[in-house]
Amino acid sequence: MSKSPLPGRPETVYYFPTCLVDLFYPEAGMAGIELLQRAGTNVVMPDRQSCCGQPARNCGYYEEARAVARTQLAAFPKDWPIVVPSGSCAGMMKKHYPELFAGQPELPKIQAFCDRVFELTWFLVHVMDIKLVDKGEPVKVTWHGSCHSMREMGVIEEPKDLLRSLANVTLVEAEYEKECCGFGGTFSVRLPEVSGAMVTDKVSNIVATGATEVVSGDMGCMMNISGAMKKAKAPVKGRHIAEFLLERIGKGDA
């Protein structure tokens, strides 16, 4: 996917910060909102939302996932685009809601909802046509693309293009960049040894790039990666791409 399905920039968008961002990384979520506003749109974040339902769906608990999905459906009644600062949660809503509601009477309504779901960096690039002016010091960063962002949402180059557009930022590619970090939601606690081996490898590959920061579009992966970096006392900082971009262009500057 590389062409905007929307005619021009929308006046208003909905924002779905995700439950993980709400609980652990609200500033990352706020950064996404500010980027959208500065790109020229109004942001509305309904209070009546919670979680996309992915954890239950991935474990096979479809009824439970459906119940939670219905809550999200009710939270976004207008036909504005729904922008999500996570390729994984966006992928759940866009790709798996239709399967979750297959054979259910709400399916047409669900499909219309899915069509409105967008991943943040993709939306900034293709719909908002955002232009970034780098105000930061020179820095070397590396990127971790989440599996669902790449494989369900087709978001591969967009976030990296945003990073490359910053004059003082050098983007270096880590070995095995496109390999899973080992998070996988419940996978990390169901098969903790294997998940641990995966994230340990991921961290070594990141450290080997010599970058001082790793950025990602998904805080699930980032919680895993930065948690492992912290425990291993690795000299690399991890955060959401929205927070990083906002800092580069000057948070609060209009």
Partner 1 sequence: MAQISHDFEHAAIKALGNKQLRTNFRRVMTGLINKRAALFPDPDELQALRARGAAIKDRALAKLPDLLVQLEQNLIANGFHVHWAESVDEGNKIILDILRKANARTIIKGKSMVSEEMHFNHFLEENGVQALESDLGEYIIQLAGEGPSHIVMPAIHKNKDEIGRLFQEKIAGQPYTEDPDELTDAARRVLRQLFANADCGFSGVNFAAADTGSLVLMSNEGNGRMSTHLPSMHIALMGVEKVIERLEDVAPLISLACRSATGQAITTYVNIISGPRRGNEKDGPKEVHLVLLDNGRTKIYNDPELRQGLRCIRCAACMNHCPVYTRIGGHAYQYTYPGPIGEILNPQMQGIEKAGDVLHASSLCGRCSEVCPVKIPLAELIVRLRREAIRPAGTAVKGGGSRNSSVENVVWFGWKTMYASPLLYRWGTWWLRKIGNLLPSGIPLLKQWTSVRSKPQFASRSIYDLARERGIRDE
For 252, the token pair is 């609060």
Q: Which of 19, 35, 163, 236 binds partner 1 (CB under 8 A)?
A: 19
Given candidates 230, 235, 247, 250, which one binds partner 1 under the rule CB under 8 A? 230
Nearer to partner 1, 30 or 35 (CB): 30
Judge residue 60's burial from the number of C-beta atoms within 10 Å of its C-beta, 0-12 exposed, 13-18 middle, 19 or more buried.
exposed
- Only segment of 64-72, 117-125, 137-145, 234-242 that touches partner 1 (CB under 8 A): 64-72
CA–CA distance, 224 with 99 (Å, rounded to integer): 28
Tokens 């006392």 belong to residue:
233
How far is 153 from 182, CA to CA, in rounded Å? 19
Contact with partner 1 (CB under 8 A): which of 82, 124, 223, 245? 223
**Shortest Cβ 19–partner 1 spacing (Å):** 7
Interacting span for partner 1 (CB under 8 A) from 1-9, 134-142, 172-180, 237-245 = 172-180
Nearer to partner 1, 129 or 175 (CB): 175
Q: In one letter, which amino acid is 237?
A: K
CB distance 67 to 50 below 8 Å? no
Residue 58 within binding range of partner 1, rule CB under 8 A: yes
Told to check if 53 binds partner 1 by CB under 8 A, we report: yes
Whole-angstrom CA distances from 44 to 26, 191, 224 are: 16, 38, 29
Q: In angstroms, what is the minimal distance from the CB of 138 to partner 1? A: 29
Q: Write out the DSSP string of 86-146.
A: -HHHHHIIIIIHHHHTTTSTTHHHHHHHHTTEEEHHHIIIIIS-------SPPEEEEEE--
154 binds partner 1 (CB under 8 A): no
User: Which one of residues 35, 39, 57, 132 is an interface residue with partner 1 (CB under 8 A)?
Assistant: 57
Q: How many helices (H) and strands (E) does the chain have?
A: 14, 8
Structure-block tokens of residue 160: 């990296």
The number of residues that bind partner 1 (CB under 8 A) is 73
* 73 in contact with partner 1 (CB under 8 A): no
| Options 89, 120, 198, 245; binder of partner 1; rule CB under 8 A | 198
Q: Does 208 bind partner 1 (CB under 8 A)?
A: no
Residue 117 pairs with which residues in a beta bridge? 82
Piece of the chain touching partner 1 by CB under 8 A; list 108-116, 146-154, 159-167, 234-242: 146-154
Q: Is residue 234 a contact point for partner 1 (CB under 8 A)?
A: no
Query: What character string, x for contact with partner 1 (CB under 8 A) and - otherwise, covers 105-144?
Result: ----------------------------------------
Which of 180, 215, 236, 249 touches partner 1 by CB under 8 A?
180
DSSP state of 173: P
